[in-house]
Chains A and B, each alone.
Chain A
């Protein structure tokens, strides 16, 4: 039971960790000062949430594990993040599309997680909802600005949405261990979020004068630890210091 909760926490937290790391790469590289600061602020919120989850997971693990061990000392197959969040920062429109497709899900997820029977998860969610609603507002606004912007921005935004669309279905995939958590009232039944998710995404895309992709082919695997080729590169960056100088602190 405890082991199930531990795994379940990783499956939530790894999304925030990997997306937080991706956004962190943009520090000093945003298209302008305001968006640079916004993206790194979002990164900070996500990493803050990750810390809360991992501190709790470390407590459940009961051995000498720390939050840092969980974040840095795992192999690729042990990360449970969805494929969407590891996709690279190809261009600003791509960053925004990835963020938007995740934020809409993240907010719906947190709104349910706050009712988890697990008190700590519920507290993390209640705190996180407020932050994530700012993220969703930010990314939705930019989808509209770029979609309803110039010819080039519209084209790039549409291509990014089309390209990333294949990773959206994975969010609503329930693994065997998720199932146990849902039946115990600890986990969130993500299948029940699916309809509202696509409705919300469709609404924003229409406001943005963008097409809702018709693609029916979806990729999954991240939740089982099977990642795209991008994941190894993220981890080599993320883990470099702890692998080179084990247990280092600063």
Chain B
């Protein structure tokens, strides 16, 4: 279930790359894997957008930003929100995960690892500040719905962890 399943027309990629997640601005909508379809028909762009979390307030903003980005090159856009198949953190691109780490958010572990760290059973989340795995969960819910709050016991810095969603 990789992002390759998304149907995105080649010539729209450059414009899509100018739109980013308002809450994690280093990630473009393509990095995040929320664009499931982008096609052009009779001079109009059709985009299918899927939310990360149901209540994610970034989705309305992303929809508006997509319209604005294509309006700049003289195109009108119809954005449709689709729920199925449900978004998973597997759809975040490898480049996206790297950018996320550099930005200070630990990228999602696989399902098993994620469960272990959120239950407090394993110390495997790497501190984005010093790289130590001597970290612990402070709260399952962080600054946004998709993140948990961690603290590093080596350098004592708090940091966000992007929760695994499958």
List the interface of chain A (C-beta within 8 A of B). Answer: 34-35, 37-38, 41-42, 44-49, 51-52, 119-120, 122-124, 126-128, 130-131, 134, 137-138
Report the separation of the CA atoms of residues A127 and B56 in the bound assembly, to the nearest whole angstrom: 12
**Which residues of chain A are within 8 angstroms of B149 by Cβ–Cβ distance?**
34, 37
Report the separation of the CA atoms of residues A44 and B51 in the bound assembly, to the nearest whole angstrom: 13
Closest 4 CB pairs of A and B: A48-B55, A48-B54, A123-B84, A38-B141
Q: Does A123 lie within 8 Å of B141, measured CB to CB?
A: no
Known contacts being A34-B149, A52-B83, is A127 close to B141, with CB within 8 Å?
no
24 A-B residue pairs with Cβ-Cβ distance under 8 Å, sorted by A, are A35-B139, A37-B142, A37-B149, A38-B139, A41-B144, A42-B141, A44-B56, A44-B57, A45-B53, A45-B54, A48-B51, A49-B55, A51-B54, A123-B83, A123-B86, A126-B83, A126-B85, A127-B54, A127-B84, A128-B54, A130-B165, A130-B166, A131-B53, A134-B163
Q: Does B55 lie within 8 Å of A47, measured CB to CB?
A: yes
**Which residues of chain B are within 8 angstroms of A119 by Cβ–Cβ distance?**
84
When C-beta atoms are compared, the residue in chain A nearest to B139 turns out to be A34
Give how many B residues have a beta carbon under 8 Å from the other chain's beta carbons: 25
Known contacts being A127-B83, A127-B86, is A34 close to B141, with CB within 8 Å?
yes
Q: Is B145 an interface residue (CB 8 A)?
A: yes
Interface positions, chain B 7-64, Cβ under 8 Å from A, are 51, 53-57
Report the separation of the CA atoms of residues A124 and B51 in the bound assembly, to the nearest whole angstrom: 11
List the interface of chain B (C-beta within 8 A of A). Answer: 51, 53-57, 83-87, 118-119, 138-145, 149, 163, 165-166
When C-beta atoms are compared, the residue in chain B nearest to A39 turns out to be B141
**Which residues of chain A are within 8 angstroms of B87 by Cβ–Cβ distance?**
127
Report the separation of the CA atoms of residues A122 and B86 in the bound assembly, to the nearest whole angstrom: 11
> Which listed residue (A37, A46, A49, A120) contacts B141, Cβ 8 A?
A37
**Which residues of chain B are within 8 angstroms of A34 by Cβ–Cβ distance?**
138-139, 141, 149
**Distance in Å: Cβ of A148 to nearest Cβ of chain B:** 15
Q: Does A131 lie within 8 Å of B141, measured CB to CB?
A: no
**Distance in Å: Cβ of A144 to nearest Cβ of chain B:** 12
When C-beta atoms are compared, the residue in chain B nearest to A32 turns out to be B139
Report the separation of the CA atoms of residues A146 and B136 in the bound assembly, to the nearest whole angstrom: 20
**Which residues of chain B are within 8 angstroms of A47 by Cβ–Cβ distance?**
55
Known contacts being A119-B84, A127-B83, A130-B166, is A138 close to B54, with CB within 8 Å?
no
> Which listed residue (B51, B55, B143) contacts A37, Cβ 8 A?
B143
**Distance in Å: Cβ of A63 to nearest Cβ of chain B:** 21
